[in-house]
Amino acid sequence: MKKPLIIINFKTYVEGCGDMAVSISKSAEKIGEGAGAEMIVCPQAADIYRVASAVSIPVFAQHVDPISGGSSTGHILPLSVKEAGGSGTLVNHSERRLKLADIDAVINEAKKVGLTTVICSNNIATTSAASALSPDYVAVEPPELIGSGIPVSKANPDIVRGSMGAVKNINPDVKVLCGAGISRGDDVKAALELGAEGVLLASGVVKAKDPAAALLDLVGFL
Ligand code: G3P
């Protein structure tokens, strides 16, 4: 079984904020290392520096804006994520949608400053469009399964297979992840069996009573 990439999005869950962001990230680092899985954490923007200072696994932003610096009060500058110790960013999450031209501008700016990019898509058509913009990863997440506890890799394997096929035709350099409702090792295993590189998940870890136990379960099949 190939080793999965597991990206944990802390969203704006209070359980994943401040000290708790650091604590979950340290568990992800330790458990990922022990199992040989690659873990990436996406804390809130204000926590990127403290998390990146505390762990050596990659820390991604949840969003950056399509800007290169200047008079854009309240926006997130890709360079500032990099300077804070971040090494990548989610783009176009279904809770933070962007226009196509803005996704393109974010990808270009992120590349310029050296951030890895993960475009989130909601179906096979948007996965195709996203892959044409040459991000490092596309993560397909059907919105109706987000936060549901019903794993996309089991409830809708066709969207994962279809996304893999679409990306292969358009831009085979782009790697495919899937997300929504993932919370158990079995869900991750099913994603890998469909050909995905790994998963993007949130509530299954961040809102778990015991996030470390949830992380251990995720890699238990390895
Ligand atoms: O970014 C990951 C996310 O949208 C999936 O959320 O809670 O279903 O794992 P969740």
93 is catalytic: yes
Write down the pLDDT at residue 177: 97
**Residue-range domain boundaries for the chain:** 5-218
Q: Is the Cβ atom of 40 under 6 angstroms away from ligand 1?
A: no
State percent of the chain over pLDDT 90: 98
109 is catalytic: no
* pLDDT tens, position by position, 154-177: 999 999 999 999 999 999 999 999
Which atom of ligand 1 is closest in space to residue 201's alpha carbon? 9
Maximum C-alpha span of the chain: 49
pLDDT above 90 (res 206) = yes
What residues have CB less than 8 Å from 80, skipping those under 6 apart?
none
Q: Is the Cβ atom of 204 under 6 angstroms away from ligand 1?
A: yes
* Residue 172 exposed, middle or buried by CB count within 10 Å (0-12, 13-18, 19+): exposed
Q: Is the Cβ atom of 131 under 6 angstroms away from ligand 1?
A: no
- pLDDT-derived band at 194 (thresholds 50, 70, 90) equals very high
Residues 29, 95, 109, 141: which is the catalytic one? 141
CATH of the domain spanning 5-218? 3.20.20.70
Beta-carbon-side half-sphere exposure of residue 106 (alpha carbons within 13 Å):
30
Q: Please, what sign has the CA dihedral across residues 160, 150, 207, 2?
A: negative
User: How far is the first Cα of the chain from the last one, in angstroms, to the nearest whole number?
Assistant: 7
Write down the pLDDT at residue 79: 98
The model's pTM:
0.97
